[in-house]
Structures are given as structure tokens and as C-alpha cells.
Amino acid sequence: MADTSADVVIVGGGLIGLATAWRLARDGVRVVVADPTPGEQTSSVAAGMLAPVTEVEYGEDDLLALNLAGVAAWPAFAADLEHATGLPSGLYASGTLSVAYDADDAAAIRRLAEYQRRLGLDVVELTGREARKREPLLAVGVSAGMWVPNDHSVDNRRAVTALLAATEAAGVQLVRRTVARVVVDGQRASGIELAGGEVIRAETVVVAAGPWSAQIDGIPDELRPPVRPLKGEILRLRVPEAYRPALQHTVRATARGFAVYLVPRPDGELVVGATSTELGYDTRVLAGGVFSLLRDARMVLPITDELELVEAVAGLRPTTPDNAPILGPAGIDGLLWATGHYRNGVLLSPITAGLIAQTVLTGTVPDLAKPFLAERFRTAPRAS
């Protein structure tokens, strides 16, 4: 490939990079996405929960606002995607049932429900019997529940497939190559260099490289974002026809203190996740991870034993010190971050795409993105 140029080059073709590329291309921007294996890393491993309510953490108000905007953005994004491609977006507006196993588990979800109601979130507390009415195959040991009507899920692999088609149709150029470095001339980023030496010049470089975002050559060390990989294993099970649907809603459980989720797909897949391990870039599936997922899943859904184990796979969540993403200007001209989405990459793809596109097009960071600038992690500059 000869040296080429674009308005925007995006490093990373996962859901965040692809959604951003698609948004920009529809606004008339010439976009190149560079990724040797688009959609095949973190974006292919997720369960795809849209769970701002059930995943709310004490004291993360800015992140909650972003996540709620994320789930609100999905229906229109999914409709556009399906309209543009004729492919399913993967969105499944199923609602989520949180359940507890023993008395300690029940106390924990009751405390969380109280906090959620204080935040004005829509949750309905249930007895164990009421929970089983919504999901009849839950274990008789399920002692309490909470119905969260607005937490849904997206089949992340279908979303990747649709976004690859949509970006192509919108004229995005997908370069299936490794990025060697970001080209920085003086105080501005001016493109990327591919492994092999070809350069793609661009006005703006967006780094959406997930857990690898801090590893890219060329970026000045003091600007590298504090993004690290956090390994997670998930299982993909298949529900035989005779038992379908094993579940109709996302089920999140606290089972003897362990958290597990079971995300059903309309096609009979059931995703069980997820472990959480600090092991660098290791993506081996460990026996202990698979064991713990199965142990917890079968405790709340005994029929798990009868489901086919189709795949066990590990991915790397791009994680930051405050569990919130890093969005917008990187600190030198022409370089933007769209990374660090941790467990919320699927959820935040549409909203991040919109926020980054707006930043590129207007040169101004939207208010919703301001709490997530990289500069929040920067220590004061030393006196020279």
C-alpha cells in the first residue's frame, strides 16, 4: 500500500473504534481504521451487558450518568445499524433480574437496591418466589431478587459483524495491519506508521486500542494513559431446543458471595461470565476460572449442567484506576483517546462514538465527556 492520508485515523477496530469510525464517516469525514484483527480481541469476548443500573458502584456518579446515556443511545444506534446493513445489531431488550442465593447474598442486593432507589433508578425488589416466576428454571435456593427493567444486553459478536459491514458501506477504509507507532511531529500527531513502514497521514489520530492503548510507540511517555489489561474468562453455552428459553432475561447472581452473570441470546446461546484476574496480557483460559464460573452458574441455574459448553475464552478489559473511560484530547494536538472502557465497552460504543465525533468536528469536548479527560490522572508538572 502506498502512503495515504485521511481526515481521521483510528487505531483499533474494536466496537469503540468501529462505532466512532461509522459515526464520523456518516458525517462526511474520511476515516481509516487500522487493526490487524478487527473485532477479534476484547470485543469478541464480552457478554455485552448494558447494565448501568445493576453495575452501579457507590460514588461513581459521573460514570453512572455516562452509562445511562450509553444505554439510552443504544435503541437508535441499533435501528440505524440494522437499517444501514440489513444485519441484526444484537440488541436484546430483555431487562435484567438480579438474584441472591443465601441470606448474606440477599442482604447485599437489598443494600444495593436501596442505593439504586436513592439515585432514582428503576428497580423492583422481589422475593425468591417472585424471581422464579420470572425465570422458572432458577434454583429453589434463590432467596431474593431485584427486577431491573432497563438493563439489557447486546450480542457483541453480532454488533461487530454489523459494524464491520456498516463502516465498509459508509466508506471507512479498514487497514488490517499492525500499527507500529503514532507519528508525532513536534507538538502534534500527524498520522500513524504501519508495521512495514507505510505512513497514513491524518489531521486527527484517535486511539481506541483498548488494553493496548498505552503501549503504542510514538506517543510521548508523559501522555500515555493509565490503561491496563484486566483478564476475564467467559463461557458460551448452548441451550438445546428442548430447554429453550432457559432464561428470558439477563440474570445476575450473587451466589455465596460470588458474582456471576448469565446472559441469554435469542438464538439459544447463554453467556456466563466473568472472572477477573490481573495477569497482564495473558489470555490463556485457566481451569480454575472455568470451574468457578460453572460452580456459580449451576448454583443459581441447575440446568446449566445439561447445556453444551461451546467455548471458553479469555479477553482483556481495558481498565483504568477509577474504572471510567478516557475520552477526548490526549494533551497534544491531533491526538484523542477513546479507551479504558473497562466492563462497559459494548454499552458505551454508541455514546463514545458520538462524543468523539463531536470533539473531532467541533474542536470542543461535550460536557458529558468532560469528567473523562485523560488530564484527571495527570500529576502537576514539575518546576523546570
CA angle 359, 361, 366 (to 5 degrees): 30
Rg (CA), the chain: 21
Stretch touching a copy of itself by CB under 8 A, among 65-73, 99-107, 300-308, 373-381: 300-308
Surface-to-core class of residue 245, CB atoms within 10 Å of its CB (0-12 exposed, 13-18 middle, 19+ buried): middle
Give the nearest distance from C-beta 274 to a copy of itself in angstroms.
15
Q: Identify which of residues 56 and 300 has a Cβ nearer to a copy of itself in the complex.
A: 300
Q: Identify which of residues 113 and 235 has a Cβ nearer to a copy of itself in the complex.
A: 235
- CA 30/CA 296 separation, integer angstroms: 47
Give the nearest distance from C-beta 197 to a copy of itself in angstroms.
35
Cis peptide, bond prior to residue 245, ω within 30 of zero: yes
- CA 377/CA 228 separation, integer angstroms: 14
Is 309 a binder of a copy of itself (CB under 8 A)? yes
Surface-to-core class of residue 37, CB atoms within 10 Å of its CB (0-12 exposed, 13-18 middle, 19+ buried): exposed
Site string for a copy of itself, 264-293 (x = CB under 8 A): --------------------xxxxx-xx--
Is 316 a binder of a copy of itself (CB under 8 A)? no
Q: Identify which of residues 112 and 274 has a Cβ nearer to a copy of itself in the complex.
A: 274
257 backbone φψ class: left, alpha, beta (φ>0; ψ -120 to 50)? left
Using CB under 8 A, which of 221, 222, 241, 305 touches a copy of itself? 305
Give the nearest distance from C-beta 285 to a copy of itself in angstroms.
5
Interface with a copy of itself: number of residues (CB under 8 A): 21
Stretch touching a copy of itself by CB under 8 A, among 7-15, 45-53, 219-227, 296-304: 296-304
Is 252 a binder of a copy of itself (CB under 8 A)? no
Give the nearest distance from C-beta 295 to a copy of itself in angstroms.
7
Is 295 a binder of a copy of itself (CB under 8 A)? yes
Q: Identify which of residues 5 and 277 has a Cβ nearer to a copy of itself in the complex.
A: 277
- Strand 152-154 with 49-50, pairing: antiparallel
Is 172 a binder of a copy of itself (CB under 8 A)? no
Residues 84, 271, 260, 232: is their CA dihedral positive or negative?
negative
The three-class DSSP label of residue 370 is helix
CA angle 164, 169, 174 (to 5 degrees): 50
Q: Identify which of residues 150 and 304 has a Cβ nearer to a copy of itself in the complex.
A: 304
Residue 207 has φ and ψ, to the nearest 5°, of -95, 110
Q: Identify which of residues 188 and 238 has a Cβ nearer to a copy of itself in the complex.
A: 238
- CA 309/CA 304 separation, integer angstroms: 9
Contact residues toward a copy of itself (CB under 8 A) are 235, 237-238, 284-288, 290-291, 294-295, 297-298, 304-309, 312
